[in-house]
A and B are shown apart, each in its own frame.
Chain A
């Protein structure tokens, strides 16, 4: 019913697989590996002051083309059909293959993509002028028919799109000219056009999509798109290869290197070994691997931290008991040492965050958002004030759900528990097995007895509204039934004037922060590792939708 945001536990395969192995098999070995390799995981790894993280949006461009580059994904993609590609591995690959109507740049701007022009003649109409002389990989020209067919797939429930929330207000999609597509909305929606810069607006060839049917995006059928790289081959379980599109229309984004082969090493220790040994040239991490220190000290490569829309948070899931009281939530938030979380749990790779939509989200009206953001509580430890707040708050036990076999979850849980004890709050940590954690998001029964649970989360487009849409009344992710901003969200979505929208959104932000329904803890930067052979990957969050590998090449 709202913002599409996702979380690492759902990493369909990645997280569970990695964690199972680590829990059952590598717990011992990890320590062994660390000591044997001289990588210092403890004392040598200086915690950095979180707030001063130097977050990049670019790395130096590659200067010479390479024949082949090997890149690791955190797990094997479930498929590369854009309408069901909604997670790290899938989008990392797809971003280089399929282009969208709009383009989200590494600096979080939205610029024209396959549509050279997007006009909004009435509040409920979007008219896209499709770029002329763009061809698919097989040489056929891109037409309005292809675009309309791609968007229409989201309207058919049988196709099972993962992007339905952005299409909920769409009435019709029609090719209104050879190079013109008109989208009619049931009501104005400020997020629709922005979403056209994500995989939700990706265009696949109509003929191939029809031919492939339910097999689109599988290893056998792949996709046919217009991007700077072409789908080459996918050996199920082993690797996926994309190659340079020699007839790509846009010289400024043309691929430098000839081919990229993606591998699917889910086990962190193995991935880090492969990166350090140079068998793998690079990888994006969405949570710091336990061996981040080893990568940072690698003699053969370098870690870059990038700006990101992802954050780490405690999601409220109840209206009852002590945690149902905003004063208790505020007190806990006030007392939590987010900088300690950043240095101890995230190994110095996560700055404290005070809002669900931090600076990276400010795609318009930056001043308005900055002024409002600066006024939000910083979450710096303020025990005295927190204790005052708690003086007349209800007593009882607060149960917090954390995911089993995840160091980040369990350590954060412990820190929250310790903070609560200092305040006199009794906090129980309930460890939920990794294979059941995903149910917390969809199944109210699974949340029974849990007052709040830890999660990563992110919005997709540079508009804070995208992050706050989770609080629509009745939304699946509005776990605690927070209702104070529902009307504002609807108003903001209908507000096409950026200044007006920013005003409404900062109001929503204020209410959400005061209620602490969701307690943002840390911003989670993109963690990019590249070895010394290569450079040029986009280190910032739009790598999920932007052809991040175009500039990738030799130094």
Chain B
């Protein structure tokens, strides 16, 4: 009886928690879209320069283009129009590419998603293993891992990318210089260097955090107590050390993975990948309103969703924290 009641309250708590977060997500998206639309509007250099090019069109031609793209409508009218369309799933049409924004995004989402998942895997596996091993083994292994992670943290991603290209693509010829590839195997082959570039700094950071947390836990009273009670070291590490270290590490993982979306912008440009990041950069330059707006929404939504997942993980790791 008692346990069932607890379970029920837990589930309804989770549901309420989820509903609250979803509402929050909607508000964040709305505010973000308004800000982005407004800022794009204020920045000098309208889309006309790109729509017109160097053509010296007659005033009538220019007027026709302006009305075609509704460039003369006041800001709020355009924003409201966009919002209405967006709610029905129509993200508008790119000024520059004359295609539907959803088509543009769909074509590029796979590459970015693949890249981010690949990098996240490298970060999580590499960072956790290196950090844990460093903390548990100590000595020279620890020094080596710390040294390498310091170096990786200090090097900007694009430098890492260029070095990787010079050594592994141009030098040894193991990997392609650019492009995202087709099919799973080919994609893995093409995206290895970009994913490593994107992951290196974050993996090093995660390794440091993990090492610190694990070391912290190793020195805790309950761990020493467990030792004195004669529990096997493997069991202590698993049950007491790693489990407790997992909470701060999860936070870091969540934040870094969310940050990968932003980091992908640079990497996609360096490796000429057809991702959302490179589309985003171009769209900003060209004041391609609808595209910028859509990409920002995708980025903000992913960020909030990843944070939500982190919170749910907390919940699973330590139910007390979900309140």
Question: Which A residues contact B (CB, under 8 angstroms)?
Answer: 1-2, 4-7, 10, 12-13, 16-17, 20-21, 24-26, 28-29, 32-33, 36-37, 78-79, 81, 84, 86-87, 157-158, 160, 162, 164-165, 168, 214-215, 217-220, 235-238, 263-267, 269-271, 273-274, 276-277, 279, 434-436, 438-439, 441-443, 446, 470, 475-477
- CB neighbours (8 Å) of B165 from chain A are 270, 273
B166 and A36 contact, CB distance less than 8 A: yes
Q: 19 A-B pairs, CB-CB below 8 angstroms?
A: A1-B56, A1-B58, A7-B54, A86-B55, A164-B55, A164-B58, A168-B58, A214-B98, A215-B99, A219-B103, A235-B274, A236-B97, A236-B103, A236-B107, A238-B107, A266-B272, A270-B270, A274-B272, A279-B179
A10 and B49 contact, CB distance less than 8 A: yes
Interface residue? B173 (CB, 8 A): yes
Interface residue? B53 (CB, 8 A): yes
Interface residues on B, range: 35 or more
- CB neighbours (8 Å) of B308 from chain A are none
Interface residue? B285 (CB, 8 A): yes
B55 and A21 contact, CB distance less than 8 A: no
- Rounded to whole Å, the gap between the CB of A6 and the closest CB of chain B is 4
- Rounded to whole Å, the gap between the CB of B228 and the closest CB of chain A is 54
Of A267, A277, A446, the contact of B272 (CB 8 Å cutoff): A267
B270 and A267 contact, CB distance less than 8 A: yes
B272 and A164 contact, CB distance less than 8 A: no
Q: How far is the CA of A31 from the CA of B282 in the complex (A)?
A: 25
Q: How far is the CA of A7 from the CA of B54 in the complex (A)?
A: 7
- CB neighbours (8 Å) of A434 from chain B are 285
**5 closest residue pairs by CB, A with B:** A237-B274, A438-B49, A476-B56, A236-B107, A157-B64
Interface residue? B45 (CB, 8 A): yes
Chain B stretch 260-275: residues in CB contact (< 8 A) with chain A: 266, 269-272, 274-275
Q: How far is the CA of A168 from the CA of B278 in the complex (A)?
A: 38
Of B104, B173, B285, the contact of A236 (CB 8 Å cutoff): B104
- CB neighbours (8 Å) of B274 from chain A are 235-238, 264
Q: How far is the CA of A173 from the CA of B107 in the complex (A)?
A: 39
Q: How far is the CA of A79 from the CA of B269 in the complex (A)?
A: 21
A270 and B170 contact, CB distance less than 8 A: no
A273 and B177 contact, CB distance less than 8 A: yes
- Rounded to whole Å, the gap between the CB of A218 and the closest CB of chain B is 5
Interface residue? B176 (CB, 8 A): yes
Given A236-B103, A237-B104, A435-B45, A13–B285 Cβ distance below 8 Å?
A: yes
- CB neighbours (8 Å) of B99 from chain A are 79, 215, 218-220, 236
- CB neighbours (8 Å) of A17 from chain B are 269, 278, 281-282, 285
- CB neighbours (8 Å) of A4 from chain B are 54-56
Of A160, A217, A218, A263, the contact of B179 (CB 8 Å cutoff): A263
Chain B stretch 152-199: residues in CB contact (< 8 A) with chain A: 156, 158-159, 161-163, 165-166, 169-170, 173, 176-180
- Rounded to whole Å, the gap between the CB of A13 and the closest CB of chain B is 5
Question: Which B residues contact A (CB, under 8 angstroms)?
Answer: 44-46, 48-58, 60-61, 64-65, 68, 96-99, 103-104, 107-108, 111, 156, 158-159, 161-163, 165-166, 169-170, 173, 176-180, 266, 269-272, 274-275, 278-279, 281-282, 284-287
B162 and A236 contact, CB distance less than 8 A: no
Which of B56, B99, B166, B286 gathers the greatest number of chain A CB atoms within 10 Å? B56
A279 and B177 contact, CB distance less than 8 A: yes
Q: How far is the CA of A158 from the CA of B287 in the complex (A)?
A: 21
B45 and A436 contact, CB distance less than 8 A: yes
- CB neighbours (8 Å) of B60 from chain A are 157
Of B48, B96, B269, the contact of A267 (CB 8 Å cutoff): B269
- CB neighbours (8 Å) of A273 from chain B are 165, 169-170, 177-178
Q: How far is the CA of A2 from the CA of B55 in the complex (A)?
A: 8
Given A25-B266, A270-B272, A439-B45, A158–B282 Cβ distance below 8 Å?
A: no
Which of A6, A12, A475 gathers the greatest number of chain B CB atoms within 10 Å? A12
- CB neighbours (8 Å) of B271 from chain A are 270
Given A21-B269, A78-B98, A28–B159 Cβ distance below 8 Å?
A: yes
Q: How far is the CA of A24 from the CA of B269 in the complex (A)?
A: 11
- Rounded to whole Å, the gap between the CB of A446 and the closest CB of chain B is 8
Given A78-B98, A438-B50, A29–B162 Cβ distance below 8 Å?
A: yes
- Rounded to whole Å, the gap between the CB of A185 and the closest CB of chain B is 16
The residue on A at minimum CB distance from B69 is A160
Of B46, B51, B61, B68, the contact of A164 (CB 8 Å cutoff): B61
- CB neighbours (8 Å) of A6 from chain B are 53-54
- CB neighbours (8 Å) of A160 from chain B are 51, 61, 64-65, 68
Q: How far is the CA of A157 from the CA of B58 in the complex (A)?
A: 10
Q: How far is the CA of A217 from the CA of B61 in the complex (A)?
A: 21
- Rounded to whole Å, the gap between the CB of B171 and the closest CB of chain A is 9
Q: How far is the CA of A26 from the CA of B108 in the complex (A)?
A: 23
Of A13, A29, A214, A438, the contact of B96 (CB 8 Å cutoff): A13
A264 and B45 contact, CB distance less than 8 A: no
A29 and B159 contact, CB distance less than 8 A: yes
The residue on A at minimum CB distance from B55 is A162
- Rounded to whole Å, the gap between the CB of B37 and the closest CB of chain A is 18
- CB neighbours (8 Å) of A276 from chain B are 170
The residue on A at minimum CB distance from B181 is A238
